[in-house]
C-alpha cells in the first residue's frame, strides 16, 4: 500500500527546527575535553556558533559583531548630518520667500485698485515687513524667534511656519516619544502638556528617591505607563530607558560640526523655552547623566554619506546607532548563554536581520537545553555535567572512534560462536550504539505497542529496541594512565588522549560491566582520577613526566582487583621526573639515569605482580622509542607508536581483541 504524505508551509509551530541538546553537547565535546570547563566551552560555542542537525547555521557572537560593524558603517555611509541644519534653514528660507511674494502681490493688488491711500498703506507695510525680513538673524534660533513675533502677510506662510515649529518640537522630543502609542503628528496641546507633566513628575520621583523617600514608582506608572511600552518594573529600568532615548539626541549634536551643533542647540533651547520645558528637560538630563555615566553621552559618529539627512532621518540613524552600541555591549559582556535572553529580539531583527535574531534566540537557550535534557546541572551558579552528561560524552567519543575504524580492522574481532565466553543474565537493556545486536523480541515489541498503542501493523523505532544483557565470564582489570604533562596540549595530543579515555570508560561500563577501569593522571607527579572528574581534568601547569609515580599508583589500584590485569599508558614523552626515597619530586630534562632506573624499577614490580603494560606512544623520538622498547622487553607487554588521528583505533581495537582472546581461551594471552 502506497503511503501518502501531506506537506504544508512551515509557520514556526511545527517541530523539526528545534536545537538538539545532544547536538550541543557533541559540538562542545572537544572544547570541554581540552579545557575541562563546561561553562567556558559554552562561551566559546556562543562566540563561534554551530550548525544544527538540520544543517542550519546558528551564527556565533563573532559573526554578529561583524554584522554590527557592517550595519554601523552602512548607516554612517547613508547620509550627511549637515542636512539636519540645511533642512530647517531651507524650510525657513522657503517660508520667507513665500512671505516676500505675498508682500509684493499685496502691493500690486493695492495699486491696481485705484485707491491711492490703500496703495500707500500697502507700500508702507511692505517696506516695514521687508525690513524685518532683511534683518532676520543668520542663526536658526534667532530667525525662529523673530518670525514667531512677525506679523505675516501670507496666511499660507504663517501656516507653514506654525507647522514647521510643531514638527521641530515633536522631533526634538522624538527620543522620549519614540515608542509611545499613537501618532506624534496628531498630538494635541493637551498631549504636549501631559508630556510636560510626566517629565516634571519624573524629576520629582528622582528627587524623592535621592532624599531616601518612597519614589512612588507604581503611582507614576499608573498615570504615565503608556509613555513606556517597554513596561519597566522599577525606577532604575525606567530611568535607563529615558537615558537611552536622550542619548540619541545628544549623539546627533556631538556628531555635527561645532557651528551646526551650536545652531541646533540654540534652536532646541528656543523651542523648549516656548513649551516651558527647558528647565524640566535640563534637570532631567543632569539627573540621567549623573546616574548613567556609562551611557556614552560624549559618543559621536562620523557620517560620510553624500545624501543630506533631514531631522527625522538623523534622529532615526542616531537611535539605530545607539541600539547597535547597546547590542554590541550586551554581546561583548555576555558571560553565559542566558545573558543573551536580555536582548530585544525585535530590535535585533530590525538591525541585523532574521538570521541574527533567530541565532541569538537559539544561543540563549543552549544552557537551558542541556539542563532540561538532564545533561547538566546548575550548582552554585555554574553548570556542571550530570552523570547522564558524562555518559553521553563517553558514548559520543566511543561512537566517533568506532565510526573512524575501517571495516576490515573492526570486522576481524568478531567472535564466531556467540555462546563462547558469555553468560546470559536473563535481563535486557535498551540498545546503545556498539552493543551486540542480541535482540529481545518480546520486550522490543512490548515497547513499540506501549509507545504507539494497540492495533496493527506494529511499527518499530530505534528507541523500542532492547537487547539481551550478557556478561563476560572472564573478568579483566585495567588502569588507564593518561599523560597530563604540558607537552600533550602543545603537540595537539591532549584531546585525542582524553577522548580515548572517555570512550574506553563508556565501552567497559556498557559492554563489560564486570570489568574494572581505574584512571591515573601523571605529569610532575601522578594522582588517581575518578570517572566523574575525567571530562573536566586538564593538563598540569608543571614540567615533568613522572611515569614511575603513575605506575606505582596503578599497581596499588590493581592490587585490590581480580582477574587479568593490565595498564594502558598513553604518553608523548620520556620519563623526566620521579619520587626520591625521601618523598621529594626530582625533575630533569633530558632524563637522567636515576629517573629512568626508578621508572623501570616500578615496571619490574608490575611485571612481578602479573600486570601487563601496553603503551601507546605519540610523537615518538629516538630516545623515547628506545625507552619504551626497554620497558616492553622487561614487562613483555606491547608498544604502539601512533599519532593522534589513529590513537583511538589502536587502543580500542587492541582492548577488544584482548577481551575476545580472553573469552576464547579463558586465560591471559
Distance, CA of 569 to CA of 267 (rounded, Å): 80
Write the DSSP assignment of 88-128 as a string of letters: HHHHHHHHHHHHHHHHHHHHHHHHHTT-HHHHHHHHHHHHH
Whose cell is 541644519? That residue is 85
379 beta partners: 382
Cell digits of residue 537: 581534568
pLDDT at 532: 84
| Spatial separation of the C-alpha atoms in residues 355 and 349, rounded to whole Å | 8
The answer to whether residues 161 and 187 belong to one domain is no
Q: How far is CA 344 from the centre of its chain?
A: 15
The answer as to whether 486 is a domain residue is yes
Q: Same domain for 104 and 151? A: yes
Q: What's the pLDDT score for residue 659?
A: 67
β-partners of residue 578 are 586
Residue 100 lies in a domain: yes
Quick one: 208 and 165 in the same domain? no
Give Cα 469 distance to the centre of its chain. Answer: 42
Contacts of 138 (CB under 8 A, 6+ apart): none
User: Is 362 within the bounds of a domain?
Assistant: no
- Whether residue 165 sits in one domain with residue 185: no
Question: Which pLDDT belongs to residue 298?
Answer: 65
CA distances (Å), origin 261, targets 90, 250, 253, 295, 386: 17, 10, 5, 20, 59
Q: What is the pLDDT of residue 242?
A: 77
Last residue of a domain, one of 405, 439, 472: 472
223 vs 225: CA distance, rounded Å: 6
Residue 118 in grid coordinates: 490703500
Q: Please choose, from the candidates 422, 425, 452, the residue with its C-alpha nearest in 3D space to the C-alpha of residue 440.
A: 425
Same domain? 461 vs 551: no
Within-domain flag for 181: yes
Q: How far apart are CA 89 and CA 95, in angstroms?
A: 10
Tell me which residue range forms the domain holding 443.
422-472
> How far is residue 203's CA from residue 208's CA, in Å, rounded to a whole number?
9
Is residue 257 located within the same domain as residue 111?
no
Please tell me whether residues 650 and 518 are part of one structural domain: yes
The number of domains in the chain is 4
Residue 570 has what pLDDT?
A: 92
Per-residue pLDDT, 663: 58
Q: Which residues of 580-628 form beta strands (DSSP E)?
A: 585-587, 611-618
Residues 554 and 466 in one domain: no
8 Å CB contact between 238 and 217: yes
Could you tell me the three cell numbers for 138? 543668520
In this structure, are residues 479 and 567 in contact, taking their beta carbons and an 8 Å threshold? yes
- Is there a domain that residue 77 lies in? no
Do the domain assignments include residue 72? no
Q: Are residues 151 and 213 both part of a single domain?
A: no
- Under 8 Å between Cβ of 449 and 471: no
pLDDT at 547: 97
* Domain assignment present for 247: yes
Q: What CA–CA distance (Å, rounded) separates 371 from 384? A: 9
Cα angle 306, 308, 312; round to 5? 140
Last residue of a domain, one of 114, 147, 172: 172
If asked whether residues 599 and 634 sit together in one domain, one would say yes
Q: What is the DSSP letter of 20?
A: P
Residues 111 and 236 grouped into a single domain = no
Read off the CATH number of the domain in which 533 is found: 3.40.50.410
For residues 542 and 558, is the Cβ–Cβ distance under 8 A? no
Tell me the β-bridge partners of 518.
479
Q: Of 172, 193, 212, which closes a domain? A: 172
Q: Is residue 276 part of a domain?
A: yes
Question: Which segments of the chain have a pLDDT < 70?
Answer: 1-18, 81-85, 170-189, 245, 247-250, 252-279, 294-300, 311-312, 401-427, 432-437, 469-474, 659-669
Length of the chain, please? 669
Indicate if 494 and 639 belong to the same structural domain: yes
Amino acid at each position: 500500500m502506497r503511503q501518502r504524505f501531506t506537506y504544508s508551509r512551515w509557520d514556526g509551530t511545527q517541530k523539526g527546527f528545534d536545537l538538539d541538546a545532544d547536538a550541543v553537547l557533541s559540538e562542545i565535546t572537544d572544547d570541554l575535553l581540552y579545557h575541562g570547563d563546561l561553562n567556558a566551552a559554552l562561551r566559546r560555542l556562543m562566540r563561534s556558533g554551530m550548525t544544527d542537525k538540520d544543517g542550519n547555521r546558528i551564527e556565533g557572537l563573532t559573526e554578529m559583531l561583524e554584522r554590527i560593524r557592517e550595519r554601523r558603517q552602512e548607516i554612517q555611509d547613508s547620509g550627511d548630518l549637515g542636512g539636519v541644519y540645511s533642512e530647517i534653514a531651507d524650510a525657513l528660507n522657503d517660508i520667507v520667500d513665500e512671505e516676500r511674494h505675498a508682500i509684493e502681490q499685496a502691493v500690486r493688488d493695492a495699486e491696481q485698485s485705484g485707491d491711492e491711500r490703500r496703495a500707500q498703506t500697502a507700500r508702507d507695510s511692505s517696506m516695514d515687513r521687508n525690513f524685518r525680513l532683511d534683518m532676520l538673524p543668520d542663526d536658526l534660533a534667532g530667525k525662529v524667534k523673530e518670525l514667531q513675533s512677525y506679523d505675516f502677510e501670507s496666511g499660507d506662510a504663517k501656516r507653514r511656519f506654525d507647522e514647521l515649529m510643531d514638527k521641530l518640537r515633536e522631533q526634538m522630543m522624538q527620543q522620549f516619544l519614540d515608542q509611545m502609542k499613537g501618532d506624534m503628528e496628531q498630538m494635541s496641546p493637551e498631549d504636549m502638556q501631559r508630556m510636560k507633566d510626566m517629565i516634571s513628575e519624573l524629576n520629582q520621583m528622582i528627587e524623592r528617591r535621592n532624599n531616601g523617600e518612597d519614589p512612588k514608582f507604581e503611582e507614576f506608572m499608573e498615570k504615565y505607563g503608556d509613555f513606556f511600552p517597554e513596561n519597566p518594573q522599577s525606577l532604575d529600568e525606567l530611568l535607563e530607558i529615558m537615558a537611552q532615548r536622550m542619548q540619541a539626541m545628544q549623539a546627533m549634536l556631538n556628531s555635527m560640526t561645532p557651528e551646526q551643533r551650536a545652531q541646533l542647540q540654540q534652536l532646541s533651547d528656543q523651542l523648549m523655552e516656548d513649551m516651558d520645558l527647558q528647565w524640566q528637560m535640563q534637570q532631567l538630563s543632569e539627573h540621567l547623566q549623573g546616574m548613567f555615566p556609562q551611557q556614552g553621552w560624549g559618543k559621536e559618529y562620523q557620517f560620510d554619506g553624500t545624501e543630506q539627512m533631514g531631522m527625522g532621518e538623523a534622529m532615526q540613524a542616531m537611535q539605530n546607532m545607539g541600539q547597535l552600541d547597546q547590542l554590541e555591549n550586551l554581546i561583548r559582556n555576555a558571560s553565559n548563554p542566558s545573558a543573551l535572553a536580555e536582548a530585544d529580539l525585535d530590535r535585533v531583527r530590525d538591525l541585523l536581520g532574521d538570521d541574527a535574531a533567530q541565532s541569538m534566540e537559539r544561543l540563549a537557550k543552549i544552557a537551558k537545553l542541556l539542563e532540561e535534557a538532564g545533561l547538566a546541572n546548575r550548582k552554585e551558579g555554574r553548570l556542571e555535567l550530570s552523570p547522564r552528561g558524562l555518559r553521553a560524552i563517553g558514548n559520543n567519543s566511543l561512537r566517533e572512534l568506532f565510526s573512524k575504524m575501517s571495516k576490515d580492522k573492526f570486522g576481524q574481532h568478531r567472535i564466531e560462536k556467540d555462546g563462547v565466553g558469555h553468560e546470559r543474565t536473563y535481563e535486557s537493556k535498551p540498545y546503545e550504539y556498539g552493543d551486540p545486536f542480541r535482540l529481545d523480541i518480546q520486550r522490543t515489541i512490548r515497547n513499540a505497542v506501549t509507545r504507539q498503542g494497540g492495533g496493527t501493523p506494529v511499527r518499530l523505532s530505534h528507541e523500542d529496541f532492547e537487547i539481551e544483557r550478557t556478561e563476560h565470564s572472564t573478568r579483566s582489570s585495567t588502569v588507564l594512565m593518561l599523560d597530563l604533562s604540558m607537552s600533550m596540549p602543545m603537540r595537539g595530543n591532549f584531546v585525542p588522549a582524553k577522548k580515548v579515555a572517555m570512550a574506553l570508560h563508556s565501552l567497559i561500563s556498557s559492554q563489560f560491566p564486570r570489568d574494572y577501569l581505574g584512571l591515573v593522571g601523571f605529569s610532575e607527579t601522578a594522582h588517581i582520577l575518578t570517572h566523574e572528574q575525567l571530562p573536566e581534568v586538564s593538563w598540569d601547569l608543571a614540567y615533568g613526566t613522572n611515569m614511575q609515580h603513575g605506575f606505582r599508583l596503578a599497581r596499588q589500584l590493581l592490587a585490590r582487583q581480580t582477574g587479568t590485569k593490565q595498564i594502558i599508558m598513553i604518553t608523548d614523552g620520556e620519563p623526566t621526573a620521579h619520587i626520591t626515597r625521601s618523598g621529594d619530586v626530582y625533575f630533569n630534562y633530558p632524563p637522567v639515569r636515576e629517573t629512568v632506573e626508578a621508572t623501570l624499577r616500578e615496571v619490574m614490580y608490575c611485571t612481578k605482580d602479573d600486570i601487563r603494560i601496553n603503551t601507546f606512544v605519540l610523537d615518538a623520538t629516538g630516545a623515547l622509542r628506545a625507552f619504551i622498547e626497554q620497558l616492553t622487553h622487561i614487562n613483555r607487554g606491547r608498544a604502539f607508536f601512533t599519532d593522534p588521528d589513529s590513537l583511538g583505533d589502536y587502543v580500542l581495537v587492541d582492548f577488544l581483541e584482548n577481551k575476545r582472546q580472553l573469552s576464547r581461551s579463558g586465560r591471559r594471552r
